[in-house]
Structure formats: structure tokens, C-alpha cells
Amino acid sequence: MVLSCTLRRSASPVSDDAPGARAAPTCIGVVGDGQVGLTAAIVLRRSYPRSDVVLIAAPPDPAALADAAITSWPSSLGFHDSFGFDEAGLILRAGASHRLATRYADWCGAGRDWVLPYGAALDPAMRVNSGDDGPAGSAHSASLGAAGPQTVTQALAASGRFAMPVDNPESPLSDIDYALRWNGPAYRSRLASLARHMGVRHLTAGLSRLAHAGDGSLTAVTCEDGSLIAADWWLDCSGPAARLRAAASEPAFESWADMLPVDRLLVDDRKASPALSLEDRILACEDGWAWQVPGRDAVHASFGYASGLTSDAAATASFKRACGASAVGKIVLRSGRLCAAWAGNVIAIADAAASFEPLHGLNLHLAHRQLGLLLELLPARDIDPRERDEYNRRAALLADGARDWIAAHYCSPVPREGAFWHYAGTQQRSDALSAALQQFGVRGRIPHFEDAPVGQADWAAVLAGIGAGPGRSALLAAKDPAQLSVQQAALERRCRAALALARPYPQWLSARLANPQ
């Protein structure tokens, strides 16, 4: 059975009609029908409405962490909006809830917490002058009189109150940013429904054979039911196995085993009671870390550790002590990335291109950034090698930036006790990470990184949280201490005003469910 690829006669970003235009792809193939593959098929169908988009199933891979993600970063809200995946629908039909911040508990020692909030960042000068004995930014209390200043989102998260951000700089609610969590199966079901509505062809029979041209390009695939699909180019969303990219030849792989300590992940039984909280919690344990994600369906938990230091049985016991969770699955992680995510006419996305520990849920966020980069270049039917080279260059920057930001979590000058943390502190550091640590420690500044997957405020929050600074820049040193006091008082007033405008999150969510518009 041959699957035909019929062109549709609607306007396309890559149009055959404009003078000198490059031809749009006749057919685009996507392999892997988890949430990453479904998302890729949807955004490609929207961006190439005259092209057929064929989505081919692949066996689920437990190590495909982007496919298993039940949360992402605030930037994913705009990414969702770009292809018509509205937040109201996620709240109503995918069990979505909101996150304002992530609390790192005991990260630099027992009782030494810090918080990574979204939204407006804190002035580094206020961190330096906060008088906090713990890591900078570690104050976490609904009382604004606690040691150390708080951002508006941090104050709201601590008090369990929520309000939507407003587009008015005078309002304290303009400082808010947030991310969503969701029920994984319901989220994927919503994606599948949208893909069907948009005309994506979804083949549930898996791959049987691949056909390559002399130059290594993938010309066609045969499915287990005999379907033959020929496409101009392909997206590999099949997880770490990278079934399409690995088929032609063994792709060069850059290992991060000496940079990121976690190579095993336990996942919970998912029977914990639902919980409404505006914070995620990442708890540092002696032999790893436990990440708890509250949700309207359950509190999901996972545990990361290093297999060379901790046995599976010991890790399971630590997981149970930390979260009261029973491990029902173990995932083997192979941290690293393909040296070239795009080879020939096959583009690896998400875990097929870069795999790493899921600290703070960066995996799906990176997949969304990779898809955004591909659509920025908007390749046509005939691939320009310069586009491929530029994609590979920038995709490598995105992946390496994610690696460095995660690695920064383990760079505390005074790490907590335990063999895992001592091992993590001896891991190699890239030149970019070393520069970030040095510049923040001396000047309180984060270097500008091209195609950084996270913002400078997120970098500053982590480095301040682990006690790696901030130092004082010349501008901050020149500030009048009285001016800093005025600035801190203004921030406290802004936090109090935001608390007065916001509602307890359960009440806010109930009202939103009753009136989703």
C-alpha cells in the first residue's frame, strides 16, 4: 500500500507561486508519536499547509524524557499559542495547573533552601545587601519581614495565591510569569485531536524498513502494515535511540557523562493524592535528588542518582524516605548530544538529538526551542546545506546551554555532604560554565550566550542559590545604600499589593474552571 502525498492549494509560508520562491516540501515525515512528535507534526502542518505531514508511530521509549514531561517553561505558553493550543483548553481538558516557582530544598545543606521564581528578576544588589546567612535568595516565607528580599512571584508562590499577569508596568501583577503542568495522557490526547483536525496523517503501524539514497539521505520508509511513505525530509522524534538518524550510519555522539552526574532515574507509582501548589519541590538527598511535581491528578515524583555510587536498592530506599513514593520504573540515561542533529534530510529533535537529566523539566522546553529554530530557518523541499549547517550550529548551542545550566546546580562552593554531591562537584565544567561562574562571582553579571535556552535571570537565580555569588559590579558598587533601602521598600510594597490583588490558588482555579473565558 503506497501512501500518496497530495498537495493542498492553500497559502503557504514556503510558496511555489512567488517569483524566485523555493518549492515547499511535497511530504514531511515525522517518526515518533509521543507528545514531541505530535507537536512537531502540528507545527509543521501549520507552517507548510500545502504539504502532507505524515506521523508514524514508534515504540514508546522510557528514556525519552521530553515525551514523558508533564511540565515545561513559561516560554512554552507562547509556543502553544502559536499553533492554537490554548491554555483554557489545557486547564479544562488536560488537568493543567500553574507553577510560579521551584523550591530547592536542602540543596546546599540541611535547611538551606533557595527558590527559582519566574517573572521579574531581583536586583543583584539587593541580594548582596540582604543580610541572609544562607545562599542568596533562600528566604521563603509568606511574611515579607523574613530575611532576604523576594520577587512578586516568589511572594505569591509562598502564600499560595495566584493572579494572571497584566500588561501594565504600574501593576505588581505585571511582574508575574508562570509555567503549566498537565496530565500526560490527557495532554497527548489533546495534541492528537488537534493533529487530526489539522489533517496530519497518523500511521499507527511502526517502521519495518528504511530506504536510503547514495548520499545517505532517507528516501522512503516501509511500515509494518506494508505502507510505503516517501518524504522530502524527516523529523526523528523517536527518543534516544534516534531510529532514523542512526539507520544510515552511527552518528557522532558527544558524551556528557563527565559533566552531568545523574545516569539513573526512578519514577514513582503515581498514586499520590492530587495537590494544588504553585511550587515544584526538588529535594537534595544524600545520594541524589527527588523532584516532586504537584498536579490535579497526583503528585508526581522522580529520583535522580549516579549508578556508580548508589545501588538501585539504596536509591529506591532514599526515594521512599524523601517522597513516600514507591519506584515502579528505572530509566537509564545516556547524557550527551549528537554532534550534528541534522544529517542529510533527517533532523533529530528532543531526546533523539540531546539527552540529559530532567532537573527542572528542561527537556520538553529544549524540544520546543529546537522546533522554533527549525521554523525560523523554514527549509524548503530542496535542502540548502547552509541552512543545515546553521541549524546544527545553533541547535548545538541550545543543547550545550541546557547542559551547562543543569551542571551549574552542582557547582556550589560549599557542597552538601554525601558521596553523590562530592562526585557531582568534581565533574568537568565547560568554558562557558566556568565563565558564568567567574563573572557572576566577581561582577554579579551573567555573560551573554548566543541561543541560550534559559534567560540570565534563571542563570542568576541558580548561581545565587548555590552560593556562587553575586559579586559587585562597578555600577552596583556606586549605588547609594540609601537608594537600595528605598528600592527594597518599594519591592516589599509591590509584593504586598500583589498579594492583595491575588486570590488563594484553589479559589482562583475553581473560578477559572467555572468560567474558562
Taking the C-alpha atoms of residue 466 and residue 138, their distance in angstroms, rounded to an integer, is 9
pLDDT, tens only, 342-385: 999 999 999 999 999 998 889 999 999 999 999 999 999 999 99
Q: How far is CA 97 from CA 85, 114, 178, 232, 306, in A?
A: 15, 22, 10, 39, 31
pLDDT-based confidence at residue 6 (cuts at 50, 70, 90): very low
Helix, strand or coil, per DSSP, at residue 320? helix
% of the chain surpassing 90 pLDDT: 75
Q: Domain map of the chain by residue range?
A: 27-95+183-255+335-402, 264-332
Task: Pick the range with the lowest mean pLDDT from 138-147, 383-392, 395-404, 435-444.
Answer: 138-147
Taking the C-alpha atoms of residue 85 and residue 346, their distance in angstroms, rounded to an integer, is 26
Helix, strand or coil, per DSSP, at residue 499? helix
- Report, as an integer, the average pLDDT of 468-497: 83
pLDDT at 230: 96
pLDDT at 17: 52
Residue 142, pLDDT above cutoff 80: no
- Report, as an integer, the average pLDDT of 468-490: 79
Query: Which position has the higher pLDDT, 82 or 2?
Result: 82
- Report, as an integer, the average pLDDT of 476-483: 75
Instruction: Share the mean pLDDT of the chain.
Output: 88
Task: Decide: 416 and 106 in contact? Cβ < 8 Å.
Answer: yes
pLDDT-based confidence at residue 110 (cuts at 50, 70, 90): confident
- Report, as an integer, the average pLDDT of 385-390: 96
Taking the C-alpha atoms of residue 3 and residue 220, their distance in angstroms, rounded to an integer, is 11
Residue 13, pLDDT above cutoff 90: no
pLDDT at 485: 83
Helix (H) or strand (E) holding 53: strand 52-56
Q: How far is CA 465 from CA 19, 115, 119, 189, in A?
A: 55, 7, 16, 37
Residue 21, pLDDT above cutoff 80: no
pLDDT, tens only, 437-466: 999 999 888 999 999 999 999 999 999 999
pLDDT, tens only, 326-345: 888 899 999 999 999 999 99
Taking the C-alpha atoms of residue 373 and residue 47, their distance in angstroms, rounded to an integer, is 13
Residue 52, pLDDT above cutoff 80: yes
Peptide bond into 13 cis (omega under 30): no
pTM of the model: 0.90
pLDDT at 248: 67
Question: Among 178, 186, 7, which Cα is nearest to 85's?
Answer: 186
Taking the C-alpha atoms of residue 65 and residue 55, their distance in angstroms, rounded to an integer, is 20
pLDDT, tens only, 112-131: 899 999 988 876 666 544 43
Taking the C-alpha atoms of residue 38 and residue 94, their distance in angstroms, rounded to an integer, is 15
Residues 6+ apart with CB under 8 A from 190: 85, 89, 90, 93, 94
First to last CA, the chain: 46
- Report, as an integer, the average pLDDT of 203-231: 91
Residue 476, pLDDT above cutoff 90: no
How many Cα neighbours within 13 Å face the side chain of 483?
8
Q: How far is CA 58 from the centre of its chain?
A: 22
Task: Decide: 345 and 217 in contact? Cβ < 8 Å.
Answer: yes
pLDDT at 43: 96
Q: What share of the chain is helix, strand, coil (3-state, %, to 5)?
A: 35, 20, 45
Taking the C-alpha atoms of residue 290 and residue 303, their distance in angstroms, rounded to an integer, is 4
DSSP 369-397: HHHHHHHHH---SS--HHHHHHHHHHHHH
Task: Pick the range with the lowest mean pLDDT from 193-197, 331-335, 466-470.
Answer: 466-470
pLDDT at 12: 42
Question: Domain 27-95+183-255+335-402 is classified in which CATH homologous superfamily?
Answer: FAD/NAD(P)-binding domain (3.50.50.60)
Other CB atoms within 10 Å distance of the CB of residue 453? 23
pLDDT-based confidence at residue 147 (cuts at 50, 70, 90): very low
- Report, as an integer, the average pLDDT of 258-265: 98
Task: Pick the range with the lowest mean pLDDT from 32-36, 95-99, 406-410, 470-474.
Answer: 470-474
Residue 135, pLDDT above cutoff 80: no
The grid coordinates listed for 285 are 538527598
pLDDT at 4: 36
